[in-house]
Amino acid sequence: MTTQPDAAMKDVPDADQVIQECLNLDHPKSFFLYAGAGSGKTHSLVESVKNLKNRERQRLTFEGRQIAIITYTNAACEEIARRLEHDPLVVVSTIHAFSWRMIQGFNDDIREWLRIKLTEDIEELNEKLGKARSQNKTFLSNQASRDSKVRRLDALDEITTFTYSPTGDNRGRQALNHSEVIQMAAAFIQQPPLLDVMADLHPVLLIDESQDTNGPLMDAFLRAQSLIPHRFCLGLLGDTMQRIYNDGKVRLEEAIPRDWAMPEKRMNRRCPTRVVDLINVIRASADAHQQHSKPDAIEGTVRMFCTQQIPGQGFELEEDIAHRMAAITGDAQWAVGKDGRKTLILEHKMAGRRMGFENVFTPLYGVEHLRTGLLDGTLPILKLFFERVAPILQASRTDSFSLMEAVRLQSPLLDSKSMKEAPDQLDLLEKAGEATESLTKLFDDNDPLIGDVAHVLYQTGLLDIPNRLIEALLLGATTDDPPDTSDRDALETHAYRVLLGRPFSEMAAFAGYTEGLSPFDTHQGVKGLEFPRVMVILNDEEAGGFLFSYDKLLGVKPASDNDVKNQREGKDDSLARTRRLLYVTCSRAEESLAIVVYTAQPEIAKQRVIEADWLKPEEVELL
C-alpha cells in the first residue's frame, strides 16, 4: 500500500496558520505542534518566528523583550539562528544555556537550594554506609561522595557568586554542574520571582524537540504556563515517536492541556513512499499518527539483510551489502565506499570499531564523570586536540601565513596580554615559530603518539593543556587496567595515560566523527538529518547495552517480564525505546534504505518482519 492523503488528512487545518494565530502577544495561545519525521518542523519554527518578529518588532524592541527558542544541540542553535539572520530580537539556546540564563545571579536562592539538596544527599549516603556489610568498592565510592558533599556544604557560605558554563568543565567550588542547573531551573521558573522574570523577558518560548526536553523541567514549563496563560505563550514542537533520550518526558502528549492548540504536520517531505509506508507500520503499534508522502515523491527502495552473528566478525559483509544495494537500486553511489552512504549504528563504540578510534573512545567513556563532555565534544582534552591542534596542523599544509595566523588565534604565546608584556616581541615570535615547527615536524610522514604531541605542547607552551593531562604526562603512558578506586581524579588521569600511548590518527578519526564528517553516525545523533542512501545496523551483541533490543523488537527473543510489567504500568520499556530508534533511523532515508540485522536466528527475524507487514518477502534476504 502506498500512503496518499485521504479526506481526513485534507481537512486538517494548516499547521503554520494555526501557529501564527497562537503567536499573538495580546491574546497568546499555547500549542503543541505534532510534526513527524521529514515534515518540515524547523521550517515551520523559523517561518512563524520571522512572521512574529516582523509584526511586533517595534513593540518587542521598545519593551526590551525577546522571543526565546530552545533546541537540543549547539549545531541546531546555530542553524536556526542563521536562518533567522541572527536577529537580536530572538535568542536561540540549548536547554542548559537557557536554564543558566534564567537562574544566573540568583545566588542566594542557588545557595539555599544547594544547602537543602546536599543535606538530603548526605543523609541518604550516610544511611547507605550504615547498612553496608563490608568496605567494598561501592562503600568506598559512597564514602568518597559523602565526604565531597560535606566539604562542599561547609564551603557554601564562602561563595558569593556561582558560575556555570553550558559547554565547559565546571570545576571549582563555585561551579555548578549540568544536572544542578537543570534541577534548579525546574524548581525556580514555576514560582515568583523567576516566573515573572521569564515571562517579562520572553513572552513567547518555543521548545524544539520538546519530547526530549528533561522531564521535570518540561513539567515546570507546563506549570509556569498554566499560572500565567494570558501573558506567556509556550510552544512545543516535536514528535513523541522521536523521543530517544531517557530523561525526556514520558507520554508528553497526555500532559498537554485541553485548551492548547494541537496542529499537526502529516506530510513527509523527505522520504520516498516505500520508506513512509515502512515507518508508518513501525509506528502503528505505538500511536495513531500516520504520514503521507509528498505528491511527487519517488517510490524508493527498502531491503533487509539478515545474517548470523559471528564472533570477531569484520565489516566486509556491510561492504558486500552496499554493492548488492547498488545492483538493486541502479544507484552506483552505494558501491563507491563508506562515503557513498550513511551508516547508522547504535553506540559510539560501534562507530569507533569501524573508524579506528575505539581505543581513544573506550578509556574516556569508562570514566563516568567524563561521559557527558565526551559525547557532546566539550571535554577539555577533546577541545585541545579538535579545536586547537587540528587548525594548526591543517594550516601547516597550506602556507606559512595561514600557519602563523592559526597559531596567533590559538596560542597563549601570541595572545594580546603576552605580546603586550613581552620585553622583546620579536623574540616571542621566534619562540612561537620554533614551538610550531616542533609540533608540525612530528607529522612529517609520521603518525606520532598522542603523548608525543602533548609533550611538545607542554614543553614549548604552544598551547595550554588541561592540568589532568599534565599529570598523566608526568606519570607516563600505560596500558594497565583502570585502578580499583572511586577517586574521580585518579580515574581521569589513568584514562589520559592510556590515551598517551595511542596514535594521533585515532584522535583525528574521532574528531572527524564528532564533527559529522564521518560516513557513520549513531541512531541518536541523526535526528533532523537526512541522507540519500542509509544503511542501518541492528546488532545487539556489538552494542552491548541493555536499554535497547532489536532481537526483542523483531520477535527473535521474547519480551522480558520487566518489559511486560513496564508496559502494563504505562512506563517506558526496551521494546518501545528500540521501536522509536528504528523509526528515527529509517526515516533518515531520502532515496533508499538497507537494514542489516545481525542475529542468532536470521530465519526467525525474516519470518517475523514479513508476518508484521513491515516488509514483503522479496524485500528480505538471508545471508
CB 530 within 8 A of CB 473: no
Give the span between the Cα atoms of 414 and 422, in whole angstroms.
Answer: 10
Residue 273, helix vs strand vs coil: helix
pLDDT of residue 489: 82
Helix (H) or strand (E) holding 420: helix 416-421
Q: In sequence order, what are the residues at sequence separation of 6 or more whose Cβ sits closer than 8 angstroms to the Cβ of residue 328?
A: 301, 303
Q: What angle do CA 512, 514, 515 make, to 5 degrees?
A: 65
Own/partner pairs, 559-566, CB within 8 angstroms, 24+ separation: none
Chain position carrying cell 523559523:
46
Give the span between the Cα atoms of 304 and 445, in whole angstroms.
Answer: 43
Give the span between the Cα atoms of 429 and 424, in whole angstroms.
Answer: 9
Backbone angles phi, psi at 6, to 5 degrees: -105, 180
DSSP state of 482: P
Chunked mean pLDDT (size 10), the chain, 623 residues: 45 81 96 93 94 95 96 84 95 94 96 96 92 81 84 94 79 84 96 95 96 93 97 95 82 92 94 97 92 95 90 78 96 91 81 84 86 77 89 88 86 77 77 90 92 94 89 92 81 93 92 70 66 91 74 86 78 86 92 94 94 95 91
Residue 104 has, within 13 A of its CA and on its CB side, a CA count of 12
The fold of the 7-98+186-265 domain, in CATH, is Rossmann fold (3.40.50)
pLDDT of residue 8: 39
Q: Classify 273-346+523-622 by CATH class.
A: alpha beta
pLDDT of residue 80: 93
pLDDT of residue 170: 62
The H-assigned helical ranges of 89-168 are 95-103, 107-131, 137-155
CB 224 within 8 A of CB 232: yes
Burial class (CB in 10 A: 0-12, 13-18, 19+), 445: exposed
Q: In DSSP terms, which residues pair with 305 in a beta bridge?
A: 596, 621
Give the span between the Cα atoms of 496 and 477, in whole angstroms.
Answer: 8
pLDDT of residue 268: 95
Domains 7-98+186-265 and 273-346+523-622 share a fold: yes
Q: Please, what sign has the CA dihedral across residues 144, 150, 154, 160?
A: positive
pLDDT of residue 10: 43
pLDDT of residue 403: 87
pLDDT of residue 98: 96
Give the span between the Cα atoms of 387 and 74, in whole angstroms.
Answer: 15
Among the listed residues 147, 139, 141, 160, the one whose alpha carbon sits nearest the alpha carbon of residue 118:
147
pLDDT of residue 11: 40
DSSP state of 319: H
Give the span between the Cα atoms of 262 and 265, in whole angstroms.
Answer: 10
Say what the pTM is: 0.78
Grid cell at residue 614: 513491515
The domain ranges of the chain are 7-98+186-265, 103-183, 273-346+523-622, 358-514
pLDDT of residue 12: 52
Largest CA distance in the chain: 80
